[in-house]
Amino acid sequence: MNHAKKIVEVKHLVKYYGKFCAVSDVSFDVYENDVFGFLGPNGAGKSTTLRMLLSLIKPTHGTIALFEKSLSDHRSAILSKVGCIVEKPDFYKYLSAQKNLEVFARISGIGISKTKIAELLEFVGLQGRANDKVSGFSHGMKQRLGIAQTLLHDPDLIILDEPTTGLDPQGIIDVRNLILQLKHEKRKTVILSSHILSEIERIANRMIIINKGKTVVQGNVADLVSSSALIVTFNLTPVDKALEVLQHSNFSACKTLVNNASLTLQTHADAIAQINAMFCSNDIQVSGIEVKRQLEDYFLQQVQSYAN
Amino acid sequence: MMHLHLTHRMIFIVLFYSLSFSAQNPRVLLHLVNAKLSKAKTYSVDVEIKVDLPYITLQPIQSKLYVKDHKRFKLDTKRIAVLPKQGFLQFNTLLTDSIHYTALFQAFEIIKSVKTVVINVIPNSDTGDVILAKLWIDAINQVVVKTQITTKSSGTVKTEYQYGSQTAYGLPDKIEFLVDVKKFKIPKALSADINTSGTAKTQKKTGVIQVLLKNYAININVNDSFFNSDKKN
Amino acid sequence: MLIKCIYNELLKIAYKPRSYIGIAGIIIINAIILFAMKVDGSFYISLVTGQFEQTLAFEGGILNGNLVAFISIQMLIIHVPLLIAFVTGDLISGESAMGTIRLLLTKPVSRSTILWSKFFASAIYTLAVILCLAFMSLTLGKILFGAGDLIVLKFDGLVVFQEQDINWRFLCGFSLAFLSLITVATLALTLSCYSENSIGPIVATMGIILVFTIIGSMDVPVFDRIRPFLFTTHMAAWRYFFDTPLQTKAILHSIFILTSHCVVLLGIAFYKFNRNDILS
């Protein structure tokens, strides 16, 4: 039970476009200081859900509450505390970086000085391009400008939709570090949607996976991942004997992948020692054991199992 | 008493014969009129022009008119004014040009209690613009009371003159032009109307331009160059 | 917040290159008209007065700044709606095309406020265009040609307005022209709510103006009933101020029709914009 303050509460969210159901009964909660991972394959309904959170799209059914207030009734007050990047960050191409930020700062609800804007541009590494038109910016520079725009009014909730798309490895690291900094130093709450699942695993503490508009699973990243099967690779010889031993054991139901000199199977942590002892007692030489706890596998597994 | 009676008789006889003489020689009368007009070679006068013409809406305007040698005139105003194309000096040519025009006595006619001599002025050839002119002359005062001039270009314009303060110079206080407007046609493509279809409502076929003249300044000094500038621009 | 939003919208209009195409167009066309009248003004005047000059002579300064201004407005008032639609049709659809609509509508400003700000910004831009037209035609015209009476050819004759009777007519005429252009701007803004590209609303606006103008000019009884209610029928209503006697009833009717169009179109725009799901 999470005793932190609930920043986002989504209940039974539904969105129909005509007869097509884009989001079907999605519910989740985001608590204060969470980095909340939003995962799902393409077309799962992630962007639609996030846009509903930001009042860009009106839900067909369901309720959305941010900061314990109904979004539909307190939209302006809520959005004054929210910063976001939706899809790729787009700006007015005919305006400079500085002017773009001034335009958005002016309507962000609080007074934001030009000094603050300059500081933000320096923070994202664009201080030298402040007076250049955005039309000449690369994708990475626009992404950084987008992050600066998100932080203009020092929001309490930051929603980032695929923030590392198109960034180079250093850029990805910078965004990751920024999010961690926002969480730990500034005590911000972040909702992060991404396809780079390793990033979610590293950054997020809670997550939801949706597919075909429905919630597949949600909870703490650590709990979800630990409750899943491990991918264990036994480097051993002879492989065929090991396979035969396995198939005559209590672990015959485990999914198995056979290679020349290894056997990979899905099992739980407490089964590893038992399996190893079983191989050893059957004169199978085990030269190494590799354990992988991958969110990507978990994600794919959950999505595929849901699809089945 | 018999002396007075004789004097009246003499005056009557002199008048009768002078009129008769004039009637028999209209050119002489025209020269007398012209001689009077020639006393004022160059003059200026304040004018008020009132227009009552079909197809034209124009408020009265006040201006100053300059005339030199009865041949050149200029209306010194930026305001838009309308005058008959013939102007009001055309009859001056008819008064003096005995080569191209023949003056013929037609009749006597009373106009507003004034006995006038009606003289037809006919061009000697048909190449000019004037087709026929008729002048009503007050022989006693030697002024033109009325004209009717028919030209090829402008049709017929009747003009009436009233005199007062400057009768000695033959200069009128009031001129009324009766203008024939049958020829007016409106180029619809240029008209500034909105959503209007159909033709103009039927208008009368003649109109009046009235010119009131006062405050004459006689025999002033005006350079020829003053009359040379473009009137419209 | 509305003032800040309007300021933002004006800033965006001011920085967009297309905003100056209209202004430049007016300046260039006006300059051409002024040049042509300076060189050949008497020819144009003869077209107007020619039919009368067989019998009458026109004295005084016919070619003056007031006449040139009147000619400029008559010629330009056909083209200016396109220039207005060019900018106002882009106000929402342009943001959708650029993607900035997403950011804009996640700000703590109501959609209604944003739409009002765009409407007022388009009104201010339209006013700037009208003032530019007025300055170029009236002010420059009077500098080059001087002031004087205005001669106007109507379908039933010539009307001459005295100089002291003209300025208020131009002021009222420009005001009514401003209202008609606001109607065009509102139409373009409304169509912009339905599109995610800039060209669509602009072309649609001009298409509607063209079709309505054709309907209005066709002398067909079947269109007689709807013609008085088409806004294009009243776009030249500014000419009523150059009539004598003043057609007050017609002027008020035109103001009512144009204002009604603005109100209805704005209502549609607000309904659509507030309900739109932003998917771009």
β-pair type (C157-161, B56-57): parallel
pLDDT at A267: 81
Residue-wise pLDDT for C221-260, tens only, equals 888 888 889 999 898 899 899 988 888 999 999 999 999 9
B77 contacts in chain C (CB < 8 Å): 59-60
Question: Are C155 and B196 a contacting pair at CB < 8 A?
Answer: yes
Taking residues C8-28, report their average pLDDT.
90
User: What confidence score (pLDDT) does residue B19 get?
Assistant: 55
Question: Is residue C172 pLDDT above 90, yes or no?
Answer: yes
Q: Which residues of C touch B53 (CB under 8 A)?
A: 56
* A303, part of any domain: no
* CATH classification of the domain holding A184: 3.40.50.300
Cα separation, C102 vs C278, in Å, equals 7
Pairing of strands B42-52, A20-31: unpaired
Of C157, C162, C240, the CB nearest to B56: C157
User: Which of A76, A90, A92 is facing C109, going by the closest CB pair?
Assistant: A76
Q: Which residue type does C61 have?
A: G
Is pLDDT above 50 for A302?
Answer: yes
Distance of CA A108 to the CA centre of its chain: 26
pLDDT value of residue B232:
42
- Assess C224–B contact: CB distance below 8 Å, yes or no: no
CB A199 within 8 A of CB A172: yes
Name residue, tokens 């199992």.
A305
Strand pairing partners for B158?
B148, B178
Residue C121 burial class via C-beta count within 10 angstroms: exposed 0-12, middle 13-18, buried 19 and up: buried
Shared-domain flag, residues A197 and A265:
no
Distance from CA of A220 to the nearest CA of C (A): 28
B127-161: per-residue pLDDT in tens?
888 888 898 998 888 888 999 988 887 778 889 99
What amino acid occupies position A126?
A: L
- Summarised one tens digit per residue, pLDDT across range C182-197 is 999 999 999 999 998 8
Question: Using CA atoms, how far apart are residues A151 and A145, in angstroms rounded to an integer?
Answer: 10
Residue A271: the pLDDT is 85
User: Which residue in chain C has the smallest CA separation from A135?
Assistant: C98
Residue of C43, C48, C56 to mutate, testing the B interface (most B Cβ within 10 Å of its Cβ): C56
Closest by CA position to C162, among listed C172, C148, C152: C148
A201 and A81 in a single domain? The answer is yes
Statement to judge: residues A114 and A236 lie in one domain: no
Quick check: is A251 in a domain?
A: yes
Tell me, yes or no, if C64 comes closer than 8 A to chain B by beta carbon.
Answer: yes
Does A229 have pLDDT greater than 80? Answer: no
CB interface of B with C, residues 136-155, below 8 Å: 153-155
- Residue B174 pLDDT grade (very low, low, confident, very high; cuts 50, 70, 90): very high
Distance CA A172, CA A180 (A): 12
Mutation pick from B57, B149, B156 vs chain C, by most beta carbons of C within 10 Å, is B57
Q: Is B188 exposed, middle or buried (0-12, 13-18, 19+ CB in 10 A)?
A: middle
The better pLDDT of the pair A153, B225 is held by A153
Q: What are phi and psi for residue A194, nearest 5 degrees?
A: -160, 155
- Tell me: do A210 and A258 sit in the same domain: no
Closest CB to A103: pick one of C8, C16, C277.
Answer: C8
Alpha helix positions (H), chain B: 2-24, 26-37, 90-96
Is residue C24 over pLDDT 80?
yes
Residue of C51, C151, C233 lying closest to B187 (CB–CB):
C51
Select from C51, C57, C242 the Cβ nearest to the Cβ of B184.
C51
Q: Report the pLDDT value the prediction gives residue C74, as an integer from 0 to 100.
A: 81
* Chain C residues inside the 8 Å CB shell of B61: 60, 162
Q: Is C51 an 8 Å CB contact of chain B?
A: yes
Of C54, C148, C153, the CB nearest to B183: C54
Q: Which chains touch C (3 or more CB pairs under 8 A)?
A: A, B
Distance CA(A273)–CA(C180), nearest Å, equals 85
Task: Enumerate the residues of chain C whose CB falls inside 8 A of the CB of residue A82.
Answer: 106
Q: Which chain B positions have a beta carbon within 8 Å of C227's beta carbon?
A: 195
- 129-158 in chain C: CB under 8 A from chain B: 146-149, 151-158
Best mutation site among B64, B88, B232 for testing chain C: the one with the most C CBs within 10 Å?
Answer: B232
CB contact under 8 A, A86 and C102: yes
pLDDT at B197: 47
Instruction: Search chain B and give the residue with CA nearest C53.
Output: B85
- The average pLDDT across A14-37 equals 90
Backbone dihedral region of B25: left (phi > 0), alpha (psi from -120 to 50 degrees) or beta? beta
Q: What pLDDT does B185 receive? A: 64
Least Cα distance to C192 among C93, C79, C48, C73 occurs for C93
All residues of chain C having their beta carbon less than 8 Å from the beta carbon of residue A93 are 98
CA distances from B38 to B28, B31, B35, B98, B169 (A): 15, 10, 5, 17, 8
Identify the pLDDT of residue A266: 80
Residue found by looking up tokens 């929402």 in the block: C92
For chain B, domain boundaries: 2-192+201-220
- Domain tally for chain A? 2
Helix (H) or strand (E) holding A190: strand A189-193
Distance from CA of C215 to the nearest CA of B (A): 11
Q: Which of B75, B153, B195 to mutate to test the interface with C (most CBs of C within 10 A)?
A: B195
Residue of C nearest to A56 (CA): C278
What are the tens digits of pLDDT across the range B105-130?
888 888 888 889 998 888 888 788 88
pLDDT level of residue A1 (50, 70, 90 thresholds): very low
What is the rounded average pLDDT of the residues A301-305? 60
Q: A249-283 burial, b if ≥16 CB within 10 A, otherwise e?
A: eebeebebeeeeebbbbbbeeebbeebbebbeeee
Question: A32 and A10 in one domain?
Answer: yes
Of B15 and A114, more confident = A114
- Taking contacts as CB-CB distances below 8 angstroms, the residues of chain C near A104 are 103, 107
| Count of B-C CB contacts under 8 Å | 150
- The residue among B94, B78, B113 whose CA lies nearest residue B29 is B94
pTM of this structure:
0.81
What percent of chain C is predicted at pLDDT more than 90?
A: 51
Q: Which residue of A has its CA nearest to C117?
A: A107
User: Per the CB < 8 Å rule, is C57 touching B82?
Assistant: yes
Assess whether A244 and A95 both reside in one domain.
no
Interface membership of B201 toward C (CB under 8 Å) = yes
Nearest to B79 among C60, C146, C227 (CB): C60
Q: Which residue has the higher pLDDT, A211 or B183?
A: A211
Coil, helix or strand for A206?
strand
A86/A146 Cα distance (integer angstroms)? 9
Model confidence pLDDT, tens digit, residues A122-167:
888 888 888 999 999 988 888 889 989 999 888 999 999 888 877 7
Instruction: Decide: B and C in contact? Rule: 3+ Cβ pairs under 8 Å.
Output: yes
pLDDT tens-digit readout, C82-126: 889 999 999 999 999 999 999 999 999 999 999 999 999 999 999
Taking contacts as CB-CB distances below 8 angstroms, the residues of chain B near C232 are: none
Question: How many CB atoms are located within 10 Å of the residue C127 CB?
Answer: 14
As a whole number, mean pLDDT of residues A11-29 equals 90
Band the pLDDT of C170: cuts 50, 70, 90. Answer: very high
CA distance C54 to B55: 14
| Nearest one of C185, C212, C174 to C86, comparing CA atoms | C185
Domain assignment of residue A299, yes or no:
no
Model pLDDT for residues A68-98, shown as the tens digit of each residue:
999 999 999 999 999 999 888 899 999 999 9
Write out the residue range of the structural domain in which residue A63 sits. Answer: 6-222
Residues A65, A9: contact at Cβ < 8 Å? yes
In this complex, the chains that touch B, judged by 3 or more CB pairs closer than 8 A, are C
The least confident of A16-30, A159-173, C173-187 is A159-173
Any contact of B with A, at least 3 CB pairs below 8 A? no
Average of per-residue pLDDT across B36-61? 88
Q: Which of C121, C118, C122 is nearest to C110 (CA)?
A: C118
3-class secondary-structure state, position C53: coil
Q: Answer yes or no: is A211 within a domain.
A: yes
CA–CA gap between residue A192 and residue A150 (Å, rounded): 13
* More reliable by pLDDT, B88 or C140: C140
Tokens standing for residue A130: 């402040």
Any domain includes A271: yes
Cα distance from C154 to chain A (closest Cα, Å)?
47
Residues C149-171 have a mean pLDDT of: 87
CA C259 to chain centre: 14
Contact B51, B82 (CB under 8 A): yes
Indicate whether A179 belongs to any domain.
yes
pLDDT over 60 at B193, yes or no: no
Q: CB distance from C164 to chain B under 8 Å? A: no
Reduced to 3 states (helix: H, G, I; strand: E, B; else coil), residue A89 is: coil
pLDDT computed for residue B13 by the predictor: 53
ipTM of this predicted structure: 0.84
Task: Please tell me if residue B78 touches chain C, with a CB cutoff of 8 Å.
Answer: yes
Residue that is written with structure tokens 């201004």 in the block: C69
- Rounded percentage of chain A residues whose pLDDT exceeds 70: 91
List the beta bridge partners of residue B135: B119, B147
Pairing of strands B206-218, A189-193: unpaired
Average pLDDT over residues C132-137: 88
Is A298 inside any structural domain? no
| E strands present in chain B | 42-52, 56-57, 61-68, 72-76, 81-84, 101-111, 114-123, 130-138, 143-151, 155-163, 172-180, 206-218
Question: A28-45 as b/e, with b when 16 or more CB fall inside 10 Å?
Answer: bbbbbbbbbbbbbeeebb
| Residue ranges of B 88-147 with Cβ closer than 8 A to chain C | none
Q: Which CATH architecture has domain B2-192+201-220?
A: Clam (2.50)
Residues A104 and A216 in one domain: yes
Q: How many CB atoms sit inside 10 A of residue C119's CB? A: 24
Question: Cα(B150)–Cα(B61) distance, rounded to whole angstroms?
Answer: 27
pLDDT given at position B187: 59
What CATH number should be reported for the domain holding residue A253? 3.30.70.980
Q: Do A255 and A218 share a structural domain?
A: no
Residue-range domain boundaries for chain C: 2-275
